[in-house]
């Protein structure tokens, strides 16, 4: 007889969903969390990030407002944003707590260390607990490059609660966090520079989206430095001096690392239960989220599969179905819609053009136009919508959107794509006018095609 049926370590998106569902199915469940309930997404990730993106986007709105007849005298107050953000995430945190407590999940505020396949030790409370199943949902933390002076930099964890906005910021990295925070800081009036080791931001995205976003960031005054690393940081008065790999040094009000995230597996005692890790240090799991130790499962960022909240939630839910509802379900990670909440925004589902072109003959449909909101102003920024299909109107393989509403569109396009919709299915939908999304159902002939891997235009 164990103390619990399920002990969950980590009260983030995946852990909370798994705990709630398991308790709903009658299991005796406790969640151990050493920080705040809600995890990265709610406390220092998706939610505060999107609120800050909204704050930053007023800058663009004010810019076009005069073309609609508005005169705006705008001033921004950082401390108001931080305080209001804090109020909102505290509200969400208490909602998450209530959602756990309602089906009877016990919340233990402590740090847990695994001591065997069916046991943990609570570090603060200095007591041991036993359980039939253990779910590791400890998430991930920002990776900081091992360079001299790294402690002078910040990560997304600290960026949300800076005492005041810096006059300038250097962001290292070319992924989601780098471009989203660049959008935020630049929109709020901070002189913003991205330094990235590659030759264009967002390595895994469709090339047109990458180049389009690159132009959009540059238009908003964000400096992009490519094929360069930060070698070291030193203090320079109130500034931080960044010393780059090309020999150049420059001072910045703040330096932020957005260089990826590392699974939280260290110091967890997983070796005591024989839990195997991947080469990258994540927990290795099978399709049902079961680790190499049969009583230990893992979901979310700690497994390094797809570091996205909805994926963690689905993994947590399916874990509970599999283990506590006798309904084995494996998460399908093959068609995950994704968005980058930069300015302009990106929404994407399915294969990029480069990926699809290696899979067989494809047709590519591309629309580029000024979004309607810009048409009364002098802004020339283009929106891009791209549909990639099997040849001759076959199945839709990829959809990539850059511009206002891209994330919302990507979510909805994921539905027909999941149903294996063809170009003809898209064409059957009546257009909704005037909208940007109508382009996706009114493409006539391909902009270009690939046959045997060769691109043919016209």
How far is the C-alpha of 86 from the C-alpha of 387, rounded, in Å? 39
Do 379 and 64 meet the contact criterion of CB atoms below 8 Å apart?
yes
387, containing H or E segment: strand 383-390
Q: Which two tokens stand for residue 202?
A: 């967002």
The token pair that represents 159 in the structure block: 């960026």
Q: How far apart are CA 166 and CA 188, in angstroms?
A: 10
DSSP-assigned beta bridge partners for residue 122: 112, 127
315 or 363: CB nearest ligand NDP: 315
Whether 400 contacts 352, CB under 8 Å: yes
| Region from 28-36, 185-193, 253-261, 411-419 binding ligand NDP, contact rule CB under 6 A | 253-261
Q: Put the strands of the sheet holding 254-257 in their side by side order.
A: 223-225, 191-195, 168-172, 254-257
Q: Between residue 371 and residue 400, which ones bind ligand NDP under the rule CB under 6 A? A: none
Q: Which residue is nearest to ligand NDP (CB)?
A: 175
Contacts of 91 (CB under 8 A, 6+ apart): none
Phi, psi of 109 (to 5 degrees): -85, 95
For residue 56, state whether it binds ligand NDP (rule: CB under 6 A).
no
333 among known catalytic residues: no
Considering beta carbons, is residue 18 or 182 the nearer one to ligand NDP? 182
Cα(39)–Cα(237) distance, integer angstroms: 35
User: Hey, what are 101's tokens?
Assistant: 């407590």
**What minimum distance in Å lies between the beta carbon of 433 and ligand NDP?**
29
Question: In the complex with ligand NDP, which residue's Cβ is closer, 273 or 302?
Answer: 302
Binding to ligand NDP by residue 118, rule CB under 6 A?
no
Q: How far is the CB of 257 from ligand NDP (least distance, A)?
A: 8
264 burial type by CB count under 10 A (0-12 exposed, 13-18 middle, 19+ buried): buried
* The one catalytic residue among 204, 243, 400, 433: 433
Give least dist CB 396 to ligand NDP, A: 22
Window of 124-132, 175-183, 421-429, 442-450 that interacts with ligand NDP by CB under 6 A: 175-183
Binding mask 297-326 for ligand NDP (x = CB under 6 A): ----------xx------------------
Compose the 326-355 pattern: x for residues touching ligand NDP by CB under 6 A, - for all others.
Answer: ------------xxxx--------------
Nearer to ligand NDP, 22 or 177 (CB): 177
Q: Where are the alpha helices (DSSP H) in 73-147?
A: 78-101
Residues 256-295 vs ligand NDP: string with x where CB under 6 A? --xxxx----------------------------------
Q: Which residues have a catalytic role annotated?
A: 433
Residue numbers at the binding site for ligand NDP (CB under 6 A): 145, 172-178, 180, 196-198, 203, 229, 258-261, 307-308, 338-341
């Amino acid at each position: 007889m164990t103390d619990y049926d399920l002990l969950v370590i980590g009260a983030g998106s995946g852990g909370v969903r798994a705990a709630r569902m398991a308790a709903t199915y009658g299991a005796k469940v406790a969640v151990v969390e050493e920080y705040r309930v809600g995890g990265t997404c709610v406390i220092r990730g998706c939610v505060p990030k999107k609120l800050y993106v909204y704050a930053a986007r007023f800058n663009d709105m004010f810019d076009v407002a005069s073309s609609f007849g508005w005169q705006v005298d705008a001033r921004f107050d950082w401390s108001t944003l931080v305080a209001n953000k804090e109020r909102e995430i505290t509200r969400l945190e208490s909602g998450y707590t209530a959602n756990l407590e309602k089906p009877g999940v016990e919340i233990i505020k402590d740090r847990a260390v695994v001591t065997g396949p069916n046991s943990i030790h609570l570090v603060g409370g200095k007591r041991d607990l036993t359980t039939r199943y253990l779910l590791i949902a400890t998430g991930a933390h920002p990776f900081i490059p091992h360079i001299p002076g790294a402690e002078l930099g910040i990560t997304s964890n600290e960026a949300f609660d800076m005492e005041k906005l810096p006059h300038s910021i250097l962001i290292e990295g070319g992924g989601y966090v780098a471009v989203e925070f660049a959008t935020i800081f630049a929109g709020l009036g901070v002189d913003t520079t991205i330094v990235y080791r590659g030759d264009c931001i967002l390595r895994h995205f469709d090339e047109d989206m990458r180049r389009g976003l690159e132009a959009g960031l540059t238009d908003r005054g964000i400096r992009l430095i490519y094929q360069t690393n930060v070698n070291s940081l030193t203090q320079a008065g109130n500034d931080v001096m960044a010393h780059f790999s090309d020999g150049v040094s420059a001072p910045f009000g703040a330096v932020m690392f957005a260089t990826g995230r590392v699974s939280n597996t260290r110091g967890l005692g997983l070796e005591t239960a024989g839990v195997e890790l991947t080469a990258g240090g994540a927990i290795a799991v099978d399709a049902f989220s079961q680790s190499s130790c049969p009583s230990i499962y893992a979901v979310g960022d700690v497994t390094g599969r797809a570091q996205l909240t909805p994926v963690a939630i689905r993994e947590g839910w399916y874990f509970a179905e599999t283990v506590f509802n006798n309904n084995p379900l494996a998460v399908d990670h093959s068609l995950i819609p994704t968005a980058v909440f930069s300015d302009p925004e990106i929404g994407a589902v399915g294969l990029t053009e480069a990926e699809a072109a290696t899979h067989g003959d494809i047709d590519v449909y591309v629309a580029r136009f000024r979004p309607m909101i810009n048409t009364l102003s002098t802004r020339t920024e283009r929106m891009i919508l791209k549909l990639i299909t099997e040849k001759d109107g076959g199945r839709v393989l990829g959809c990539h959107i850059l511009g206002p509403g891209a994330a919302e569109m990507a979510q909805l396009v994921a539905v027909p794509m999941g149903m294996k919709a063809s170009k003809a299915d898209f064409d059957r939908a009546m257009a909704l006018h005037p909208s940007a999304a109508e382009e996706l159902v009114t493409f006539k002939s391909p902009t270009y095609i690939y046959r045997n891997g060769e691109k043919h235009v016209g």
